[in-house]
Structure 1
Amino acid sequence: MVAPGPMKSVFAVPRMDCPSEERMIRMALDGVVGISDLRFDLGARTVTVAHAGDPAPLLAKLESLGLGARLSRTEKADPVDLAVPVDDATEARTLRVLLAINAAMFIVELVAGWLAQSSGLIADSLDMLADATVYGLSLWAVGKAAAAKVRAAHVSGMFQGVLAVGVLADVFRRVVAGSAPEAPAMVGISLIALAANVSCLVLISRHRHGGAHMRASWIFSTNDVLANFGVIVAGALVAWTGSRIPDLVVGAAVGLLVLAGAVRILRLR
């Protein structure tokens, strides 16, 4: 029998390996009475919940997502495990800056990718747009009811799905019609995008120990930096081999990643 009072439960979630699953879990647990904090560890694939009362309702919510969740352990929570007051104004300002940077880089990368015939750049630009949408919906959902936040997540999922299909269609078109990606443009624009994403990472790192939504934003920025490195490597391989295949592979990989995340978000109830 679990003792009453503040508790800390650790849930193993074997299929939680990217920010999309973290966002699904946040939305599933949003509005559950008694939760004071959520901590995610994507590497260990665990979710730690500081809460009051029985962990069974939490487990039921997580099981409904189909990610293989199970309860690892429950123990009395230390005061340090409980959430600290959040400076909503500061977080909102940070999210607005992240939204502006991602929206600007979406336009820059999309235009450059089209002119340079690079599927990798176009895919990364749409990933920027997807991130900007997430940040915008996060701002809109602040203070809203749980049902409104779920609707916001579904809108984000549908939007990301459309973007992913667009990326994959463009890759297919370039496979059939041919393309001649310009390696210097791929690398040059990706270096600019990398600088923008590193700036986002520095900004969001100040909040990486805050609420779950801010920790997720930090993970998004980290993944964007890794995606930029992927496009840079693809550009270097295009220049070295003279083949367009590395560019097409990177474009398809980014498209499939966004599509998988969209499907998981749309499963959220």
Structure 2
Amino acid sequence: MGKSCCQPPEPDQTSHNDPGWRLILWIALIANAAMFLVEIVAGLAADSRALQADALDFFGDAANYAISLGVAGMALAWRAKAALFKAATMLTFGLWVIGYTVYGLAAGSNPEPQTMSLIGTLALLVNLAVALLLFRYREGDANMRSVWICSRNDAIGNLTVLAAARGVFGTRKAWPDLLVASIMAGLAIWGSAEVFAQARRELAHG
């Protein structure tokens, strides 16, 4: 277990307003907004629940990066409150994806693996680039940590989308796509719990 899983990291009093941090957030915001548009169109065209779920995750991340930019220069308490809000959005995304996956099981779907593979690879490259830029800030306050967790989960999610594409291609069935959508929901719920716990600790310590 990493230190950040066992105890809250010491709040950095300067890095949250670091110009480099702000620049990375702007890059991440623009990249995620662009990928939302690409993936939602591709997901609908390919009838892929996993791609559509990943697209909505990109949209949520873009909104979260915008929130992080808005509170970057504020006191720790405000940044912790913003992290609580972001944890709530991550949880909402996870629950929505679970519901959407159940609907896919009932209504049926016919995902197109080639499109899933192509767009999943593009999304993975974008998320890896953003995650590498954010890596140095992964042990900051709850607000910074929430941004890192989002990027980390996104990269993991993209790998599962690629696995789903292979599964759909190999089996000619939709269940790998629906399974991956469920895994992405679990990642969002797990990440929200991590962010929520650290933000509560920061608020409790004033």
User: What's the TM-score, normalizing by structure 1?
Assistant: 0.63
1:182 alignment counterpart? 112
1:144 alignment counterpart? 74
The letter of the residue matching 1:244 is A
Structure 2 residue 44 is matched with structure 1 residue 114: yes
User: What's the TM-score, normalizing by structure 2?
Assistant: 0.80
**What does the per-residue CA deviation read over 1:177-206, in whole Å, with 9 as the maximum and x for residues that have no partner?**
11001000111100110121122133224x
Cα distance in 2 for residues equivalent to 1:108 and 1:142: 28
| 8 Å CA contact retained: 2:150, 2:191 | no
Out of 155, 166, 183, the residue aligned to residue 85 of structure 2 is 155
Larger RCO (CA under 8 A, 6+ residues apart):
2
CA RMSD of aligned residues (A): 2.9
Deviation larger for 170-179 or 259-268:
259-268
**What does the per-residue CA deviation read over 1:196-220, in whole Å, with 9 as the maximum and x for residues that have no partner?**
1122133224x34774455654454
Identity of aligned residues (%): 31
Whichever structure has more helix as a proportion of its residues is: 2
Whichever structure has more strand as a proportion of its residues is: 1
SS at match of 2:173: coil
Q: Highest CA radius of gyration, 1 or 2? A: 1
2:167 alignment counterpart? 237
1:103 alignment counterpart? 33
Unaligned 5+ runs, structure 1: 1-16, 18-39, 52-82
Deviation larger for 227-236 or 103-112:
103-112
Change in 2 beyond 3 A, CA 1:250/1:203:
same
Cα distance in 1 for residues equivalent to 2:99 and 2:139: 38
Cα distance in 1 for residues equivalent to 2:165 and 2:191: 25
| 8 Å CA contact retained: 2:50, 2:178 | yes
**What does the per-residue CA deviation read over 1:207-255, in whole Å, with 9 as the maximum and x for residues that have no partner?**
3477445565445433322211110011001101111111101101212
Change in 2 beyond 3 A, CA 1:90/1:210:
farther
Unaligned 5+ runs, structure 2: none
Change in 2 beyond 3 A, CA 1:229/1:134:
same
The letter of the residue matching 1:182 is E
Change in 2 beyond 3 A, CA 1:229/1:157:
same
Change in 2 beyond 3 A, CA 1:210/1:265:
closer
Change in 2 beyond 3 A, CA 1:129/1:88:
same
1:46 alignment counterpart? 6
Question: 1:174, CA displacement in angstroms?
Answer: 1.2
1:35 alignment counterpart? none
Cα distance in 1 for residues equivalent to 2:196 and 2:27: 27
**What does the per-residue CA deviation read over 1:73-122, in whole Å, with 9 as the maximum and x for residues that have no partner?**
xxxxxxxxxx6964711110111111111121122112211221111111
Cα distance in 1 for residues equivalent to 2:184 and 2:138: 28
1:195 alignment counterpart? 125
**What does the per-residue CA deviation read over 1:156-193, in whole Å, with 9 as the maximum and x for residues that have no partner?**
23323332233222212211111001000111100110
1:25-64 mapped onto 2 (5 Å cutoff): 41=3, 45-47=5-7, 49=9
The letter of the residue matching 2:119 is I
The letter of the residue matching 1:248 is L
Change in 2 beyond 3 A, CA 1:184/1:209:
closer
Deviation larger for 216-225 or 250-259:
216-225
Change in 2 beyond 3 A, CA 1:164/1:84:
closer
| 8 Å CA contact retained: 2:48, 2:116 | yes
SS at match of 1:181: coil
